[in-house]
Amino acid sequence: MIDIRLVRSEPEELRRALARKGAGELLDDLIEADEAWRQLTSRVDELRARTKLKGKPGPEELAALQQVKVDLQETEAALTEADKRRAELLDRVPNPPAPDVPDGTSEEDAVEVKRVGEPADFAFEVRDHVELGGFDLERGARLSGSRFAYRRGAIALVELALYRFALAKVMDHGFEPVLPPVLVRAEAMYGTGFLPTDEVNIYRVERDDLYLTGTSEVALASIHQDEMLDGRELPARYAGYSTCFRREAGAAGRETRGAFRVHQFDKVEMFAFTDPELSPEEHERILSIEEEIVQSLDLAYRVVCTAAGDLGPSAAKKYDIEAWFPSQERYREITSCSNTTDYQARRLNVRYRREDRSLGLVHTLNGTAMTARVLIALVETRQQADGSVDVPAVLADYGAPQTFKYCHQRRTVAP
RNA sequence: GGAGGGAUGGCAGAGCGGACGAAUGCGUCGGUCUUGAAAACCGUUGUGUCCUCACGGGCACCGUGGGUUCGAAUCCCACUCCCUCCGCCA
């Protein structure tokens, strides 16, 4: 949610920023709805003030009060309507982009910030992760439909090692490990900005009116809902490991091969609550932790800053790390980190007490420490001529084999 | 799944339908005392929203949503969550 006071005090400036996200008209509607709401509010307040009295009323007074009651009912009904319209708009207006975010509306408009490492040069024909083995997609599809994958054997161990490795890394940087619920109430989805805008991409369990989270960001942001944090204890940093569920509604037919885009994957997510002044600094810090992790796995990557119009509703600014995928011969997103400023904090009502006892909204930030996509980049990057894969030594401590090769045994016999 | 009990300020915990935004304790912050601190004592201390340049004022908020009433923390209904017991299951 944006700051309604800013809407009233700086409408032109805010409109320019929101127009970059394509939400200029939405703001105009909000301004109008807010004005109507304010007028009705003061009328209701005035009527209510008249009903206040000390002790019992006399008979004449009572008659007057009964009339006030009728007027109040009418005005309150109008206010309820006005409030509903205003709240709906307030729910939909996105967080304005930060000034240093590039213009544009699509992935192609992102600005490259830096490029690290050289894409591997293979002297043999490159296999993709499906050909290298361990991803059982046919059986995944038979079980659950397309975009579901079993990971089997060595791959399962490497993947788990990646999560455990990333968790250890972020713990070194002060993040508390958290295993969060993945089934949450609508409130948490609204609070984090996934509802109402992103509704089509969310799995819903209708019978119990719960939603499956597409990232542990939802549960981590909500960890301090309605709380007042001690300013001296900020930043509060959490690292969630969870399975993530996404309907991928807009992506029908796209990238159907392999496990690159699936409905269910696992992720280690960093999440921070900070003093508002320090969130840009924390954002850079989270990015640098992501880079540290990617670098320690020897992946070639680049960092891009997402264009304003391509940002989600909550994000004011977002960096993605894109790793080189040898089979696709291009850089693809493997991590993403956003500064959501006070947008989620206002919706979730997460505040902090300053030294001078005053209260303020915190800023929240999130970033990917590890996902299954890293596993794909890793196996493709470290494949050998014979189809085996050389696993980075840093993962050995976390249970990964040093090397592995799949022989495509299907454990079935001819009919 | 069944039977009870509960939800009030940062926390704990009182609260006859009107004087209750709400006792009290702890905590907070300020002060006295002290070389300094602790203890003690005195004082202070909710949040949101609207109007106002400001001083200040109005309104709302006692789990959530409805209802009764001129008037609800208080009475009624529904829901959510927590606790205890019983049953069932991992």
The domain that holds A301 is classified in CATH as 3.30.930.10
Domain end call among A92, A121, A142: A92
* Shared domain check, A145 and A19: no
* Shared domain check, A230 and A83: no
Structural domain containing residue A22? 4-92
A49 touches strand B (CB under 7 A): yes
Helix (H, G, I), strand (E, B) or coil at A414: coil
Residue A62's nearest nucleotide, by CA–C1', is B70
- Taking the stretch 65-84 of protein chain A, residues with Cβ within 7 Å of any atom in nucleic acid chain B are 65-66, 68-69
* Shared domain check, A140 and A42: no
| DSSP E strands, A168-316 | 176-178, 183-184, 204-205, 210-212, 228-230, 236-245, 264-274, 301-305
A55 touches strand B (CB under 7 A): yes
- Taking the stretch 336-395 of protein chain A, residues with Cβ within 7 Å of any atom in nucleic acid chain B are 351, 357, 359
Q: Which of A377, A340, A184, A365 lies closest to A286 in space, CA to CA?
A: A365
Mean model confidence pLDDT for chain A = 91
* Shared domain check, A293 and A161: yes
Predicted local confidence at residue A208, as pLDDT = 80
Helix (H, G, I), strand (E, B) or coil at A332: strand
**For chain A, how big is the Rg over CA atoms in Å?**
26
Q: How far is the CA of A348 from the C1' of B45 (A)?
A: 26
A399 in any annotated domain: yes
* Shared domain check, A150 and A80: no
Q: How far is the CA of A164 from the C1' of B7 (A)?
A: 40
Structurally, chain A folds into a number of domains equal to 2
Predicted local confidence at residue A410, as pLDDT = 64
A298 in any annotated domain: yes
Interval A274-316: pLDDT, tens: 999 999 999 999 999 999 999 999 999 999 999 999 999 999 9
A165 pLDDT tier (thresholds 50, 70, 90): very high
ipTM of the modeled complex = 0.84
Residue A356's nearest nucleotide, by CA–C1', is B29
A232 touches strand B (CB under 7 A): no
Residue A34's nearest nucleotide, by CA–C1', is B50
The domain that holds A44 is classified in CATH as 1.10.287.40
A102 in any annotated domain: no
* Shared domain check, A303 and A211: yes
A86 pLDDT tier (thresholds 50, 70, 90): very high
A267 touches strand B (CB under 7 A): no
- The whole-number average pLDDT for the span A237-261 is 88
Q: How far is the CA of A349 from the C1' of B39 (A)?
A: 39
Q: How far is the CA of A212 from the C1' of B86 (A)?
A: 33
A173 in any annotated domain: yes
Predicted local confidence at residue A195, as pLDDT = 87
A99 in any annotated domain: no
Domain end call among A92, A118, A152: A92
A46 touches strand B (CB under 7 A): yes
* Shared domain check, A146 and A12: no
Concatenate the DSSP letters of all residues of A116-155 into one string: ESPPP--SSPPP-HHHHS-EEHHHHHHHH-TT--EE-THH
* Shared domain check, A323 and A244: yes
- The whole-number average pLDDT for the span A210-223 is 93
* Shared domain check, A351 and A239: yes
If you ran DSSP here, which 8-state letter would residue A324 be given?
A: E
Domain end call among A92, A117, A146: A92
Interval A308-320: pLDDT, tens: 999 999 999 999 9
Other CB atoms within a 10 A radius of the CB of residue A234 amount to 18
Q: Could you give the residue numbers annotated as active site of A?
A: 246, 261, 333, 336, 373
* Shared domain check, A301 and A233: yes
* Shared domain check, A53 and A128: no
A287 in any annotated domain: yes
A100 in any annotated domain: no
Q: How far is the CA of A225 from the C1' of B48 (A)?
A: 16
Interval A305-356: pLDDT, tens: 999 999 999 999 999 999 999 999 999 999 999 999 999 999 998 998 887 7
Query: Distance between terminal CA atoms of chain A?
Result: 61
**Could you identify the residue written with the tokens 């991928």?**
A248
If you ran DSSP here, which 8-state letter would residue A89 be given?
A: H
* Shared domain check, A176 and A309: yes
A32 in any annotated domain: yes
Give A226-233 contacts, CB < 8 A, sequence gap 24+.
A226/A348, A226/A349, A226/A350, A227/A350, A227/A351, A228/A351, A228/A352, A228/A353, A228/A359, A229/A273, A229/A350, A229/A351, A229/A352, A229/A353, A229/A362, A230/A352, A230/A353, A231/A275, A231/A352, A231/A353, A231/A354, A231/A355, A232/A355
Residue A52's nearest nucleotide, by CA–C1', is B71
Q: How far is the CA of A90 from the C1' of B57 (A)?
A: 28
CB A104 within 8 A of CB A110: yes
Residue A64's nearest nucleotide, by CA–C1', is B70
